[in-house]
Amino acid sequence: MKKLTALEVKKLTEPGIYVDGQGLMLVVKSKTSRSWILRFQHEGKRRDYGIGSASKITLAEARDKADEYRREIVKGGNPLAAKRAARGIPTFREAALLAQTELLAGHKSDRHKQIWLGSLEAYAFPALGSTRIDQITPSAIVACLSTIWQEKPETARRVRQRIRAVLDWAATREYRDFVDFSRIKMPKQGDTRSNFVALPKQDVATFIATVAAAEPTMGRLALLFTIATAARSGEVRLATLDEIDFEAKVWTIPASRMKMKREHTVPLSSLALSAVTRAKAIAGDNPKGLLFPARSGKPISDVTMTKVLRDMKVAATVHGFRSTFKDWAAELAIWPDAASEAALAHGDPDKIRGAYRRTTFWAFRVEMMNAWADFMLGKPATKNSDATQSEGSRMAG
């Protein structure tokens, strides 16, 4: 096989791989990106070791370095592993933080960056976070994804993509070899249109007692508030103190944060207000006035509350508690179904009826949310006959 000449090396600018022999290659990506690579076998696997830029290392120097590394390989060494050890190999968690900073540097959405890293914090770091990035195997990736592959199919696919992005980032920096994700086979996922998993209502009191007894954190307090108000997690994460009327015990959510784009008012039980008060004590000064800020002062991520459930090994979703609330209200049958629908801020499927209905069932909802809080605390629901009968008569009349 013909070897390269020094003159050829200077003139080669067409993208491609040019072989010198014995594994030494010149890799040309562009006129300004040309580098030397030594390809060798180690433990039955092909490895590519970067020798350096062709603009700084001559052909003769590249051959000398290649000879040096070949002698090391013959003795059983691995120059790639030695290079990694000298640089200090990060854990998966450390690599993910570095990768996020670099890969998403040009992304304008802070929320996307938060979600990107938050999904790894919730679903990848517990299994892979403390593992050195070069020691993560395909089987470890499969084991990590298996815990959510069927239960949260869409989330699992996104986590898989982000794990791959982190590993690819590490491979390009020679912390590890590339992983062939086409060979990582996961079972076929079921119907992705499944409902959010809800906690059975008979388990709510025990669950709430466990959360309330644990050390108060923003995640736990935000989750308590979310369940007590039957709100959506996004409505809670971005909630601010100026939306709360502590005297009237009302939370007013602006239309911009509501799914139906209509302002929504929520009666606040003592349990809900207690979560806010405890969160204020933890947060201290909070320039943005958030109810439940992260340590950074920004809103907590959308997986912070999910992590509370996962750590407690509760097979339910945050959104699923809205279903639990609906089941509880429907089976109790104290208040009209439309009252619980109003509490959930659902739109009326009958567009004509919805256009003419102006009531928000406020008296019912105040009573209902207090009863729901009592139920969360293990107390039986009671009926305030005056309020219920008064509004019931007005609606019936």
**pLDDT score, position 218:** 93
**Which residues is 91 bridged to in the sheet?**
132
**pLDDT score, position 393:** 31
- pLDDT of 65 strictly over 90: no
Four-residue CA torsion sign, 377, 267, 357, 323? negative
Residues of the chain above pLDDT 90, percent: 31
**pLDDT score, position 100:** 85
Question: What are 297-344's pLDDT values in tens digits?
Answer: 888 987 889 899 988 988 888 988 999 999 898 888 888 888 889 999
- Looking at every residue in the chain, the average pLDDT score rounds to 82
Instruction: Check if the beta carbon of residue 38 is closer than 8 Å to that of residue 48.
Output: yes
**Reported pTM:** 0.50
Predicted confidence band at 221 (pLDDT cuts at 50, 70, 90)? very high
Question: What are 273-301's pLDDT values in tens digits?
Answer: 999 999 999 988 777 889 999 988 888 98
Question: What are 259-278's pLDDT values in tens digits?
Answer: 777 899 999 999 999 999 99
Place of tokens 């010149």: 26
Contacts of 372 (CB under 8 A, 6+ apart): 228, 230, 269, 325, 328, 329, 381
**pLDDT score, position 30:** 84
- Domains of the chain (ranges; CATH) run 6-87 (3.30.160.390), 92-183 (1.10.150.130), 201-396 (1.10.443.10)
Predicted confidence band at 387 (pLDDT cuts at 50, 70, 90)? very low
Judged by average pLDDT, the poorest of 108-117, 286-295, 340-349 is: 108-117
